[in-house]
Amino acid sequence: KQEVTQIPAALSVPEGENLVLNCSFTDSAIYNLQWFRQDPGKGLTSLLLIQSSQREQTSGRLNASLDKSSGRSTLYIAASQPGDSATYLCAVKGRGAQKLVFGQGTRLTINP
């Protein structure tokens, strides 16, 4: 059974810092991995999707990497801004499976 873990559960950093969010998964037989952002009381917004054959994806100040063999992914946020404050969730899709398995998320606070 696939399990996804995100550490830390919460993170607070000053504005302008670069930061890394971590995601680990127990079964390396994945189809893809996604990073989402969730603002309080809102739905999820897809940030980046990495297929199992890829090593990383970039979008603006965001860079996500995938190391399937070690069961890890990181989300790198450069030059953080207060608007980046949100909960960040990673989710994996297993091969042959329809569903995404989500981590519990990291609640990120960027202090001005």
Partner 1 sequence: SQTIHQWPATLVQPVGSPLSLECTVEGTSNPNLYWYRQAAGRGLQLLFYSVGIGQISSEVPQNLSASRPQDRQFILSSKKLLLSDSGFYLCAWSRNSGVADTQYFGPGTRLTVL
> Cα dist. 92→42, 61, 70 in Å?
21, 22, 14
Nearer to partner 1, 42 or 61 (CB): 42
- State the binding string over 15-54 for partner 1 (x if CB under 8 A, else -): -----------------x-x-x----xxxxxx--x-x---
Q: Which of residues 61-90 bind partner 1 (CB under 8 A)?
A: 89
Nearer to partner 1, 13 or 24 (CB): 24
Nearer to partner 1, 23 or 80 (CB): 23
Instruction: Read off the DSSP letter of residue 2.
Output: -
Q: Residue 53 burial (CB < 10 Å; 0-12/13-18/19+)? A: exposed
Q: Are 15 and 80 in contact (CB under 8 A)?
A: yes
Report how far residue 66's alpha carbon sits from residue 75's, in angstroms, rounded to the nearest whole number: 9
Cα 90 to the center of its chain, rounded Å:
4
Nearer to partner 1, 45 or 109 (CB): 45
- Site residues (vs partner 1, CB under 8 A): 32, 34, 36, 41-46, 49, 51, 89, 91, 93, 98-100, 102-105
